[in-house]
Structure 1
Amino acid sequence: MNQDVLRHAPLFSELDDESMTALFAMMGRTRLKRGEVLFREGDAADRLYAVVDGKVKLSRASADGQDSVLAILGSGQVFGELSLFDPGQRSSTVTAVADEVQLASLSHDDLLALLDGRPSVTRGLLALLSGRLRRANDVIGDLVFADVPRRVAKALLNLADRFGESTDEGMYVRHDLTQEELAQLVGAARETVNKALADFVAKGWVKLESRAVIITDMERIVRRAG
């Protein structure tokens, strides 16, 4: 498990080498296969997790049993930080969406000890929480004001920003999501999202592959997301 990946996380990016090595030694290790659940909404919340390799989805179930994907997280991203302030119940379910996922974890008590006397880590935690709140506000605004094609375009850009690789064909984005999961991330019915994607394909803006997309006309997608 590569500790250098953790330096991409705001919480740990300013730690010196000695502190980073000590932190890595105390962290737990977890491996998941696609479809395996790390924890479920309502489970006890007592650890923070960082994705070392692979991708996970954070989801919640509505009263009628419908799932909503809150976020897709990849290497260097952290989740479960709310357990620091509210070590009660998990507010989401975390499931592996890549073939293999590697996670590092830190207990509630160890996280508090890490924060003690390290203002850079505290600043990183505040930045993480602020980013979560900002994204939540953006999602709420999009659900109220944006049509589905715009939300699809924005979702593709967000995924491309974190998981995209430039190729001769365009920006290749291996998102590892099923059609249903992508629709849950957008917050719309699968049929409606598929219709928007089919329109993008017909216009030559994207190409679709299994659990991946190639953005062939980035300028158009950016405009549609605006």
Structure 2
Amino acid sequence: MEWRLFEGLSDAQRQSLAEATRRRTFARGEVLFHEGDAADSIHQIRSGAVAIRVTTQSGDLCMLDVLGPGETFGELGLLVTHRTRTATAMAVEPTETRALAYSSFDALRRADASVDRLMVRMLADHVDRLSHRLLEALYVSVERRVARRLLDLVEVYGDGTGAPVRIPLAQREIAELAGGSRPTVNEILGRLSHQGAVSLGRGQLEVLDRAVLERRAGR
């Protein structure tokens, strides 16, 4: 599994960075790093899943996203001078990553100024993702957002066979991802359960019928 970060680099550059990565493993519930920690590496998920959380004004942690195999996180540390983590990353199941130290990436940047284009692309991708989420929050109903986040999670936890997909997240966490209140999202999930789209359990749910979710998501 090659890093998307390496796309556009020469074979020699990719090999140099690949050799600089190191394997990291995390148990379910283990924090990879905390918001405000010194940022010293980028991670790519090889297996498992990682939740990205930020602190609200009230001091609570809110889940913004769940990332799966092949996805990269921690790259914003490359783009800020103070290099501190802007969010908390936590393994939501046993997870393996490959970590690349910023010092290794910086060494390549100093040797080849064209590598800065990778940073611009990473920033553009991040802004694009945030812009889409902001538009959803402003103009898309909570019901549609819940369906979209469930479909996103199917991509993280599914095996591509179309079989039912178990998502090990509580309804509270689904509400955080969808940007809705817990009572409202619980009601929406209840309706989806009655329609046979999902099965609800303690601290988890199972997606049974993606076609229903796709209709509700407006896709």
* Same fold, TM-score > 0.5, yes or no: yes
| Partner of residue 117, structure 1 | 112
Alpha carbons of 1:173 and 1:114: their partners in 2 closer, same or farther (altered >3 Å)?
farther
| Partner of residue 207, structure 2 | 214
CA contact (8 A) 2:46 2:98 kept: yes
| Partner of residue 198, structure 1 | 190
Letter in 1 for 2:196: G
Q: Helix, strand or coil for the counterpart of 2:5?
A: coil
Question: What is the CA distance between 1:190 and its match in structure 2?
Answer: 2.6
Q: Distance in 2 between matches of 1:131 and 1:207?
A: 34
87, 91, 98: which one aligns with 2:86: 91
Question: What is the CA distance between 1:23 and its match in structure 2?
Answer: 2.5
| Partner of residue 215, structure 2 | 223
Q: Distance in 2 between matches of 1:46 and 1:217?
A: 39
Deviates more, 1:44-53 or 1:22-31: 22-31
Alpha carbons of 1:166 and 1:206: their partners in 2 closer, same or farther (altered >3 Å)?
farther
Alpha carbons of 1:122 and 1:40: their partners in 2 closer, same or farther (altered >3 Å)?
same
Deviates more, 1:68-77 or 1:138-147: 138-147
Pairing of 1:42-191 with structure 2 (within 5 A): 42-88=36-82, 89-98=84-93, 100-115=94-109, 116-117=111-112, 124-167=118-161, 170-191=162-183
Residue by residue over 1:65-92, the C-alpha shift from the partner in whole angstroms, topping out at 9 and shown as x without a partner, is 2222121111111111111121422110
Q: Helix, strand or coil for the counterpart of 1:95?
A: strand
Q: Helix, strand or coil for the counterpart of 1:165?
A: coil
Letter in 2 for 1:34: R
What's the C-alpha RMSD, in Å, of the aligned pairs? 2.5
Residue by residue over 1:70-123, the C-alpha shift from the partner in whole angstroms, topping out at 9 and shown as x without a partner, is 21111111111111121422110011101x11121112221123445385x655
Letter in 1 for 2:154: A
Letter in 1 for 2:207: I
Q: Helix, strand or coil for the counterpart of 1:30?
A: strand
TM-score by length of 2: 0.84
TM-score by length of 1: 0.82
Alpha carbons of 1:133 and 1:217: their partners in 2 closer, same or farther (altered >3 Å)?
same
Question: What is the CA distance between 1:161 and its match in structure 2?
Answer: 3.1
| Partner of residue 25, structure 2 | 31
Letter in 1 for 2:72: V
CA contact (8 A) 2:25 2:97 kept: yes
Aligned pair count reads 215
Letter in 2 for 1:117: D
Unpaired runs of at least 5, structure 1: none
